[in-house]
Homo-oligomer: A and B are copies of this chain.
């Protein structure tokens, strides 16, 4: 036994986190051991709270603490334009650009024949239902600028254009093959402003 059992257990749990190897886990564990109890417990509580209180928005599948997310619940958002993203984590970077004031729809992934993800595995039926029941004038496809994201955008454009709704796509400017989640605000803001009609 190299460490007290409670410490070893913490190390094991920390090593599961993405990007955290044995040495990072050690640094974090000893930092937690040395830090104020209040600060360490705040992290513990934040994890519990996020697992207890966060679920998916009933309308757009973004993360939400109430039945619908803060964006769907807001009266300040333009519900005529829906921005379609792959994952909830793609929404904060778009919000930070302040270039978009519409609402969202989260697909829960992207089409990927290799990984066996087809249209039925994504919230596409729910999107079409929204387009039928809500008054939507534009759908902005903001899936990632990689193979799966482009495939998904092309697929959705073919479904939605016949409904007489304008379908747009984030402008080029994003590095191809990259992740929307980590794009810088200026690039992503410009991509939203110069979005092109498909």
Residues of chain A touching chain B, judged by Cβ–Cβ distance below 8 Å, are: 1-7, 9-10, 12-14, 16-20, 23-24, 26-33, 37, 39-51, 53-54, 63-65, 69-70, 87-89, 91-92, 95-96, 181-182
Q: What distance in Å separates the Cβ of A97 from its nearest Cβ neighbour in chain B? A: 10
B residues in contact with A46, CB < 8 Å: 6, 9-10, 12-14
Bound together, the chains give a CA A44 to CA B7 distance in angstroms of 13
Among candidates B41, B43, B64, B87, residue contacting A16 with C-beta atoms closer than 8 Å: B43
- In the bound assembly, the distance between CA atoms of A24 and B182 in angstroms comes to 11
A contact patch SS: helix
Q: Whole-angstrom distance from the CB of A126 to the nearest CB of chain B?
A: 19
Contact of A63 with B3 in the complex, beta carbons under 8 Å: yes
Q: How far is the CA of A24 from the CA of B19 in the complex (A)?
A: 7
Copies held by the complex: 2
Does the CB pair B23–A51 fall under 8 Å? no
Residues of chain B within 8 A (CB-CB) of A89 are 26, 30
Least Cβ distance of A121 to chain B in Å? 15
Chain B nearest CB, measured from A9 CB (Å)? 5
Q: Which residues of B contact A10 (CB under 8 A)?
A: 43, 46-47, 49-50
Q: Please give me the residue from chain B that is nearest to A62 by CB atom.
A: B4
Determine if B3 and A92 form an interchain contact, defined as CB atoms under 8 angstroms apart.
yes
Instruction: Provide the residues of chain B in CB contact with A32, threshold 8 Å.
Output: 17, 47, 50-51
